[in-house]
């Protein structure tokens, strides 16, 4: 067998990073490149357990491997401060060992290239020391990447303080071409939780040095659809949007087993009638808010498919309002985890009630589904702005003064979302645009080893910035 080039992909330990990186890995592997995909041990065991063929850790040229995350106690993993400290301290050494072991057992096909999630870009020093070429992958929107890259300048200009607070105005702007960030849209905004805000702000400070360090920073977007934001990051390489295809669906990188029974249930529903409700992998709700979601779905009168992770009720066992499950039995389907892209592609889906994570945003937009937006944290508030104000493909589900989204608000927005022709037409147009750009990574990407070329349709200007041809 001919020797293959060998790429190692290192994923940050979160669902929203693992899934897009695995999609990208499958595309790279489909070009005859060997890919070794690295998760932490805990994440690796979740991904493998959720695979349709969980005995096989090599799928379509992608080999799944793991490294310890350096955290001793299970409890410490729930403590984000302890976890971050242990992870950052031990990961460089663990990755270095893994690279050396992998090369020792693959003498014919040593690792030629390492791609890491940009949020763990501090790992690249180790890769550099080993003399291996590198790139980074940004999981969020190009606008979010541009914002993080501009943070040092915003601090220098006195717009942000060292804790990430906006100093004077209520907004931070990096360009007139894209919307400014309001205080509540800052990716590290955690009202009343200064320590957590500082942790997220400091984690974000790694993005700019990472982007400067690598020749290319890849992301799940397309230049055609996000040109203004892309133009703000000189070496961005937008290679999305990604959708799971049938050939790579055996390992989607999900942390939970996908319950495919919902697809046959959707087959039995009327076209354009079902509300799909899914808040990604991290969002949690108080019992009061959980009850309002249930009662709002009931009040709407629409059929619904609701993803209720076992940890959705903030650590408590999930408890539905009295009699709810019986009352909605003939029109509600609840699963712990759904095959989301298949669901969004189903003709019965009317609207997507979502937390606006970037992956969910790109999936919904690529499949032309109108959104009902309920951002939870990080970049999701800014993504909502794109969905509702720029693309005009969704509506906001607003909280009341007590911070709770009421059953009436939820039900009203479901009805409005279903009846709004403009939003439906815009969503369908957006789908057409996205489908034209669907990721064909190898066609789109210049050689990752060649820094003389820019992204497609772009030329290098003065060695540091790109301009459109
Ligand atoms: N997802 C899924 N099934 C579900 C819910 C979510 O496969 O029931 C996937 C979804 O398709 C997306 C990812 O999980 O690819 C969630 O990423 P996102 O950035 O939207 O949110 P996060 O989990 O990072 O908050």
Domain positions in the chain:
6-248+438-460, 261-435
Q: Give me ligand 1 centre to Cα 20, in Å.
A: 10
Residue 414: predicted pLDDT: 98
- Asked whether the beta carbons of 42 and 255 are under 8 A apart, the reply is no
Which of 240, 252, 281 has the most ligand 1 atoms within 8 A of CB, as the residue to mutate?
281
- Asked whether the beta carbons of 214 and 134 are under 8 A apart, the reply is yes
H/E segment holding residue 116: strand 111-117
- Ligand 1 atom nearest to 344, measured from its CA: 11
pLDDT in tens, 236-278: 999 999 887 555 556 789 999 999 999 999 999 999 999 999 9
- Mean local confidence (pLDDT), 18-28: 94
Residue 456: predicted pLDDT: 39
Of 379, 354, 376, 374, whose CA–CA distance to 364 is shortest?
354
| Alpha-carbon distances of 214 from 26, 37, 115, rounded to whole Å | 22, 19, 10
Of 338, 279, 361, whose CA–CA distance to 314 is shortest?
279
Q: How many CA atoms lie within 13 A of 142 on its CB side?
A: 26
- Asked whether the beta carbons of 149 and 211 are under 8 A apart, the reply is yes
DSSP 448: T
Q: Give me ligand 1 centre to Cα 123, in Å.
A: 25
Q: Give me ligand 1 centre to Cα 141, in Å.
A: 15
The answer to whether the 6-248+438-460 and 261-435 domains have the same CATH topology is: yes
The CB-based long-range contact list for 425-431 (8 Å cut-off, 24+ gap) reads 426/391, 426/392, 426/393, 427/365, 427/368, 427/369, 427/370, 427/371, 427/393, 428/368, 430/365, 430/368, 430/391, 430/393, 431/365, 431/366, 431/367, 431/368
Q: Give me ligand 1 centre to Cα 70, in Å.
A: 26
- Ligand 1 atom nearest to 335, measured from its CA: 8
- Asked whether the beta carbons of 197 and 116 are under 8 A apart, the reply is no
Class of domain 6-248+438-460: alpha beta
Residue 37: predicted pLDDT: 97
pTM, to two decimals: 0.93
pLDDT in tens, 128-174: 999 999 999 999 999 999 999 999 999 999 999 999 999 988 899 99
- Mean local confidence (pLDDT), 417-439: 93
pLDDT in tens, 88-102: 999 999 999 999 999
CATH code at 261-435 = 3.40.50.2000
């Amino acid at each position: 067998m001919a020797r293959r080039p060998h790429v190692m992909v290192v994923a940050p330990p979160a669902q929203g990073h693992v899934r897009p990186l695995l999609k990208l890995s499958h595309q790279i592997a489909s070009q005859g490149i060997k890919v070794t995909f690295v998760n932490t041990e805990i994440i690796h065991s979740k991904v493998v357990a959720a695979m349709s063929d969980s005995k096989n850790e090599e799928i379509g040229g992608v080999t799944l491997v793991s490294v310890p995350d350096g955290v001793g106690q299970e409890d410490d993993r729930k403590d984000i401060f302890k976890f971050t400290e242990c992870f950052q301290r031990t990961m460089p050494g663990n990755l270095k060992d893994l690279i050396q072991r992998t090369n020792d057992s693959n003498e014919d096909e040593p690792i030629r290239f390492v791609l890491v999630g940009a949020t763990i870009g501090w790992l690249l020093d180790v890769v550099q020391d080993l003399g291996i070429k590198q790139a980074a992958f940004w999981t969020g929107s190009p606008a979010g990447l541009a914002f993080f890259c501009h943070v040092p300048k915003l601090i220098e200009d006195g717009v942000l303080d060292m804790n990430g607070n906006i100093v004077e105005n209520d907004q931070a702007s990096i360009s007139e071409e894209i919307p400014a960030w309001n205080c509540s849209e800052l990716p590290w905004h955690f009202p009343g939780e200064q320590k957590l805000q500082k942790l997220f702000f400091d984690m974000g400070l790694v993005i700019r040095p990472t982007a400067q360090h690598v020749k290319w920073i890849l992301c799940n977007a397309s230049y055609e659809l996000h040109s203004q934001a892309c133009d703000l990051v000189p070496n961005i390489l937008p290679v999305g949007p990604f959708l799971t295809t049938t050939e790579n669906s055996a390992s989607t990188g999900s942390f939970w087993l996908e319950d495919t029974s919902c697809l046959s249930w959707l087959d039995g529903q009327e076209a354009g009638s079902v509300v799909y409700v899914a808040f990604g992998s991290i969002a949690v709700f108080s019992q009061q808010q959980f009850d309002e979601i249930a009662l709002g779905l009931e009040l709407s009168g629409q059929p619904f498919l609701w993803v209720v992770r076992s940890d959705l009720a903030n650590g408590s066992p999930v408890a539905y309002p009295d009699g709810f499950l019986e009352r909605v039995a003939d029109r509600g389907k609840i699963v712990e985890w759904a095959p989301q892209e298949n669901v969004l592609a189903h003709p019965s889906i009317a609207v997507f009630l979502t937390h606006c994570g970037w992956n969910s945003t790109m999936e919904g937009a690529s499949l032309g589904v109108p959104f009902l937006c309920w951002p939870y944290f990080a970049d999701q508030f800014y993504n909502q702005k794109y969905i509702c104000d720029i693309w005009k493909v969704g509506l906001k589900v607003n909280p009341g003064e007590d911070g709770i989204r009421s059953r009436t608000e939820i039900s009203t927005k479901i009805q409005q979302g279903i009846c709004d022709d403009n939003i439906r037409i815009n969503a369908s147009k957006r789908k057409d645009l996205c489908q034209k750009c669907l990721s064909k990574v190898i066609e789109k990407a210049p050689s990752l080893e060649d820094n003389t070329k820019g992204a497609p349709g772009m030329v290098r200007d003065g060695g540091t910035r790109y301009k459109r041809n």
